[in-house]
Structure 1
Amino acid sequence: MAHRIEVEHGTHLFVEDIGSGQPVIFLHGWPVNHKMFEHQIATLPEQGFRFIGVDLRGYGQSDKPAHGYDYDRMADDLRVVIDKLDLKESVLCGFSMGGAIAIRYMAKHGGKGVSRLALMGAAAPVFTQRNDFEYGLPKENVDGLIDGAYADRANMLVDFGDLFFGKEPSEAFNGWFHSLGMEAGPHATIESARTLRDEDLRSDLHTIAVPTAIMHGRNDQICPFELAEQMEKGIEDATIIPFEESGHSLFHDEPEKFNDVLLQFISESVKI
């Protein structure tokens, strides 16, 4: 089943809703869409869970308004989806930028409807380096992505893919994944990159009051592993699950472990 949910006047999000049972909500990373979770779309309903895949505003099959690409607004969008679908006791799973939005949702909306949180290669608590935060990417690297999006977005995404995958994908997979990035609005891609560069979630972490799994690749070149350690320090009930053979794309680099850890976390508790 697919939904088009109006999150503010004239702006609708596309939401894939498959299966029944406990809801598991997926928030994708920059600049793709919910289709990146295709293995979870196939697996979770078979295991008795309800897959909820959200295309964030500006991405995939969702509307692409000119505004609203900050974490506050995207967290508000998620609140509308959770309320409209009446989701309760959900597991919220955020990858990369989606992880950052999930953190802001937990802080701003008190985690309404969410009983567990999975942060997967999350772009948090701060994506870029600053005077009081030595981790993450230099801000100029993100400026380079923005300049590349203006000049030749398709080629910029090819270059970004070289950093994204820890294990080289097949030509077919690489082409498919690149196409997901090209489904995004160019303005959404640029504005979200600015948000990634500038937002700071450090004060949000202590508000998270649910069990949290931090799934992170040891060799992540986009969201370095040190970010996972900073998140664990800030979230009271958090456990890091390192993916020793993964870069940023832990869902691709170690797909069986990714599904096993996620299913175990959804079902009961994380055991390393």
Structure 2
Amino acid sequence: MNRRTVLEATLLGTALAAAAPADAQTTPPQPARQSRVTARDGTSLFVQDWGAGRPVLLLAAWTFNSGIWGSHIVALNAKGYRCVAPDRRGHGRSDMPMTGYDLDTLTDDVAAVIEQRDLRDVTLVAHSMGSIEAVNYLARHGGERIARLVLVAPTTPFLVQTEDNPDAVPKPMIDAQNAAIAQDFPRWMGENEAPFFMLDTPEVTRAWIREMMLSVPLPVALACRRTISFADLRAAARGIDRPTLIVHGDKDASAPLELTGAKTAALIKGSKLSVYEGAPHALPLTHSARLMSDLLAFMAA
């Protein structure tokens, strides 16, 4: 670039600046959203925060991180929604403390995200383990900031068999599953992979999920699994007074419909249960288009 070209470019820039409205010259740039939220115990939580408009908070499944919601975030942003998706402590890019994997601490982490991002009129979407955090959030922190609730293949209301919960999973069976995970997590994943996906789920997707799950430290994975198993959220579900959509596959081997989604729907007054025929547990992956359609319709109602 020669001196004349530089001079012309400088003069043009000066002229454009002079012609611009005064407020355009003085308005400071908007601060960028930070990728971190600090939990009550100081744990740093990684948060994806994309788009503008009414917020949708996306909570992931056991050993999944916020990356699972990528295509949903893009689709919701295109429809004018803001999407906020945290990595649970011990997962993804969040800190990995030795403690804090009990239900109330995990729930308070969700509250920290909502409060520090000042989210209001929120559609709370929770897959699998995320459902216990979502339901407990409404019981523990109230529904002032929550407009509606979507539970995708939930593990609520209570998985373990007790005298007052006879049609559930016997504790010895839960203990045996946890022992198998503790002994050889990759092998356990391989033995349980087939019913988690659809037959046409690509290998690249399966490999991505295996890598995601194995990236979670085993003590964290086991602690979270124990929290899922023994979280009794029957009373919390009965207290929900927000419009609620529950989506569940009738071939879900991880959280069978009759033990989880159907029982949760029976407890939440006025909730709608949508059953996907032939669908497994990984609905955000295997049935993403249908799930997105149902979600958009529910939020527009």
What TM-score bracket applies, with the shorter chain setting the length? over 0.9
Are residues 1:56 and 2:88 paired? yes
Mapped contact 2:150–2:244 kept (Cα < 8 A): yes
Are residues 1:264 and 2:297 paired? yes
1:246 to 254, 257, 279: 279
What displacement does 1:248 show? 0.9
1:36 to 68, 76, 82: 68
2:228 to 196, 209, 212: 196
Match of 2:55 in 1: 23
Change in CA separation of 1:142 and 1:168 when aligned onto 2, cut-off 3 Å: farther
What displacement does 1:232 show? 1.4
Change in CA separation of 1:243 and 1:83 when aligned onto 2, cut-off 3 Å: same
Looking at CA atoms only, which structure, 1 or 2, has the larger radius of gyration?
2
SS of 1:229 mapped into structure 2? helix
Letter of the 1:231 partner, please give it. T
Match of 2:262 in 1: 229
Q: Mean Cα displacement is larger for which, 143-152 or 41-50? A: 143-152
> Percent identity at matched positions?
30
Mapped contact 2:58–2:124 kept (Cα < 8 A): yes
Match of 1:184 in 2: 216
TM-score, normalised to structure 2, is: 0.84
Q: Mean Cα displacement is larger for which, 164-173 or 5-14? A: 164-173
Structure 2: how far apart are the matches of 1:250 and 1:33?
15
Match of 1:213 in 2: 245
Mapped contact 1:118–1:212 kept (Cα < 8 A): yes
Structure 2 residues without counterparts, runs of 5 or longer:
1-32
Structure 1: how far apart are the matches of 2:289 and 2:38?
35
TM-score, normalised to structure 1, is: 0.93
SS of 2:148 mapped into structure 1? strand
What displacement does 1:166 show? 4.1
Structure 1 residues without counterparts, runs of 5 or longer:
none
What displacement does 1:218 show? 1.0
Are residues 1:95 and 2:117 paired? no
Structure 1: how far apart are the matches of 2:63 and 2:284?
16
Q: Mean Cα displacement is larger for which, 47-56 or 228-237? A: 228-237
* Residues 53-87 of structure 1, C-alpha deviations (whole Å, 9 max, x = no match): 11111111111111111111111111111110000
